Structure 1
Amino acid sequence: MEIRHLEYFIEVSRHKSFSKAAEVTHTSQPSISKAIKDLEIELGKTLFYRSTKYVELTDAGEIILEQAQQIVASFRNLNTKLEGLTKLQTGKIHIGLPPITAVTTFSHLLSAFKNEYPKIQIQLFEFGPKKIEASLQEGLLDIGIFTPEDSDLFEWIWFEQDPLSVIMHPEHPLAQCGSVKYEDFYGEQLILFNSDYKLHDLIIDKCKKAGVNPEIAFETSQRELMTQMVAAKLGLALLPSKICKELDSQIIVSRPFSDSQLYLQLALVWKKGRYLPHAAQEFLDFLKENYLTM
C-alpha cells in the first residue's frame, strides 16, 4: 500500500468521481482506477459502489476513509517537518474557502504574498464552512476561511467584514425601496445559504425575532445558482455587498439591508497546536506583519 493510493482514494470519495479525482491530482483516470483496484485487492474489500451516474462509498469504504485521512494527515505533517529544514522559498499551502465569498480582499493578499514568494504553491479548495472546519481538524487543510468560534481548537486572523445586501429581480416591488428590512420578507420566498453556513441559522433566527416566519424556497452553497434563481424571479436572497457589486444590474439589483449587525465576517483560521508547513507559517507571518492584525 502506498500513500498516493490513499490520497487517490480520499479524492475519489471527496468528489464522488474518478475523473474529477484524476483532474485534481493531475494524473490519469486509468491510474486512479488501478490504484483503487489495487487497494481493494490488498484490503479484500470493495470500497466503492460504481454506476454510470455516481460513485459512492461502501460501508467498508467509510471505515477505510476515516483511517486513510488520519494516515495521510500524519504523513503530510512528517513531510512538512522535513521540508522545514529547507529554504522557505518553496513549499505548498492548502487553503479551504467557501464558494459564497467575495474573494477580492483575499486575492489581494495572495497577490502580495506571491510577489514576495513566487515559488510557493497555493492550492485552493472550495468547501462549505463546516467541511473546512472539519478538514482543518483532520489535517487535510493548512488554513481555512470561515467564521471561527472555538478558540480552544483554532487560532485566526480576521481579514473581512462585509455587510449583507438583498438581491432581487429589477421588476420586484422592493427594487423601488432604498433599503430592505426583516418585515419586508413577509410573504416572500427566500433563497438562503445552506445550513453549512452559520449565516443560515442567524438569518432565520433574526427573521423570527422580527415576527416574520421566513418562507424558504431554496437552500444552496453555490453563489451562481443563487443568483440564477433570483434572476428567474424565484425569490429574494442575501449576499455580501462586495459580491452584489459584481452582478449584472440588468437582471439583478441589490438593496442595502437595514440590519447593520448582519454581515459576513471571515478569518484566516488554522488548527491550534498543529505543526504548520513552513510555507503556511510564512504566509501567516507575512500577512500579520504587513496587512492584518490578530
Structure 2
Amino acid sequence: MDLRALRAFTEVIRQGGFSQAAEALHTTQSNVSKTVRQLEEEVGLPLLDRVGHRSHLTVAGEVVHARALKMLADRADLVRELEEMRGLRRGRLRLGLAPIGASTLFAPHFATYRARYPGIEISLVEQGSSRLQEMLREGEIDLGALLMPVPDAFDWQDARRSPVVAVVPQADHLPRDRPVPLAALADHPFILFEAGFALNAMVLDACAKAGISPRIVARSSQPDFIFALVAAGLGIGFLPRLIVEERAPPGVRVVTVTEPDMLWHMVLAWRRDGYLSDAARAWLALLRGEAT
C-alpha cells in the first residue's frame, strides 16, 4: 500500500473531514478525496461511511486505520534509525509536553541539553494528554509528558509527583488550616481544563467516587487564566500544588483535599515497540541526572 495514501486516510480521521485534512497536508480537498477512493478500491471495501459532511469509519476502515497508524509510525522509526546508523551528528528531539507543569519541570533542562548536544534540534509541541498519546502512537513525537496511569503500549520514566489541590478565592469560607473532603466543595462552581487534559478525568473520577456532580462553569487550557477566573470569584480550580506554589497570583489560596486518588504523577513516555533515538535517550538520561 502507498504510505502517502495511508497518511491521507489517517489525516481525514484525525482532522474530522476532507477539507481539514487537505489543509493539514497542504493539498486540495479533491486530491485527498481521490487518494482515499483509490485506497478503498485497492482494499476492495468501503473504509468510510459518508453521511452529509461527516465521515465515519466502517468496520474495514477501523482495521485499515489501526494498521495505517502502525505502518506510518514504523516508517518514521526506520528513517531515524538509518540516520543514526549513518553516523549523523545532527538530529532532532521531538518532545510533546503538557501545558500544565511543563515549564516548571523541563525548562531548566533545555539549556543544559543544548550545551551538551548543540547539533540536536529540539522540536516542542504542547497538547493535552489524550492528544499526546495519539502522537506517540503515530510516531509524531519521540517522548510525551503524560499523567499516570499510561496505556500498556508505552514505557515510561518518572518525572514528578504532586498532590492536586483546590484553588479558591482568598475570601472563600473554606477552612484555611486543615484538609477538607472533596464533598465539601460540592456547592462551588468548578473551573476545569479543556477536554483532553488528563487532570480533568482525575478530578471528575474523584467527584464520582465522592458521590457529587460538579457544576462546571468554565474551561480553559491555560493555568494562568484559571487563576484569574478563580480570583475574580467565578469558581474554584484544581491544579498540582507545585504549579500553584510557583504561579498563583494574589487573590487566591490553596485548599488541600483529602482524596488520595488526586495525585498528579507526570512521566515521560514512549512507544514500547518503537525505536527510541539517541537524542531521546540522552534527554531521559539528563532528567535522571546521568552524565552522557
Normalising by structure 1, what TM-score?
A: 0.71
Equivalent residue for 1:36, pick from 32, 38, 59? 32
Q: CA deviation at 1:238?
A: 0.9
Alignment of 1:162-173 (within 5 A): 162-173=162-173
Report the number of matched residues.
280
Q: 2:74 — aligned with what?
A: 74
Q: CA deviation at 1:239?
A: 0.9
Root-mean-square deviation (CA, aligned residues, Å) is 4.1
Q: Distance in 2 between matches of 1:21 and 1:231?
A: 40
Q: Distance in 2 between matches of 1:48 and 1:151?
A: 29
Q: 2:252 — aligned with what?
A: 253
Which shows bigger deviation, 107-116 or 4-13? 4-13
Q: CA deviation at 1:185?
A: 0.8
Identity of aligned residues (%): 26
Q: CA deviation at 1:199?
A: 4.5
| CA deviation map 1:269-292 (0-9, x unaligned) | 12334322332233323433538x
**Contact 2:169/2:252 (CA < 8 Å) preserved in 1?**
yes
Q: Distance in 2 between matches of 1:12 and 1:119?
A: 35
Q: Distance in 1 between matches of 2:146 and 2:114?
A: 22
Q: Secondary structure at the match of 1:94?
A: strand
Q: 1:179 to 1:38 in 2, by over 3 A?
A: farther
AA in 1 matched with 2:212:
N
Q: Distance in 2 between matches of 1:18 and 1:241?
A: 42
Q: 1:59 — aligned with what?
A: 57
Q: 1:259 to 1:78 in 2, by over 3 A?
A: same
**Contact 1:93/1:142 (CA < 8 Å) preserved in 2?**
yes
Alignment of 1:1-294 (within 5 A): 3-4=3-4, 6-7=6-7, 10-11=10-11, 13-16=13-16, 28=26, 31=27, 33=29, 35-43=31-39, 56-59=54-57, 65-87=65-87, 89-149=89-149, 153-174=153-174, 177-178=176-177, 181-182=180-181, 184-193=184-193, 196=196, 199-200=199-200, 202-204=202-204, 206=206, 213-218=212-217, 220=219, 222-223=221-222, 226-227=226-227, 229-230=229-230, 233-244=233-244, 245-249=246-250, 252-259=251-258, 262-290=262-290
AA in 1 matched with 2:159:
F
In the alignment, structure 1 segments of 5+ residues that lack a partner are none
Q: Secondary structure at the match of 2:85?
A: coil
Q: Secondary structure at the match of 1:181?
A: coil
Q: CA deviation at 1:158?
A: 1.4
Q: Distance in 2 between matches of 1:143 and 1:70?
A: 17
| CA deviation map 1:41-71 (0-9, x unaligned) | 53367969799xxx85443676654343222
Q: 1:110 to 1:4 in 2, by over 3 A?
A: farther
Q: 1:150 to 1:12 in 2, by over 3 A?
A: closer
AA in 2 matched with 1:253:
V
| CA deviation map 1:54-89 (0-9, x unaligned) | x85443676654343222112112212211213363
Q: CA deviation at 1:170?
A: 4.3
Q: CA deviation at 1:123?
A: 2.9
**Contact 2:73/2:137 (CA < 8 Å) preserved in 1?**
no
Q: CA deviation at 1:196?
A: 5.0
Q: Secondary structure at the match of 2:124?
A: strand
Normalising by structure 2, what TM-score?
A: 0.72
Which shows bigger deviation, 238-247 or 40-49? 40-49
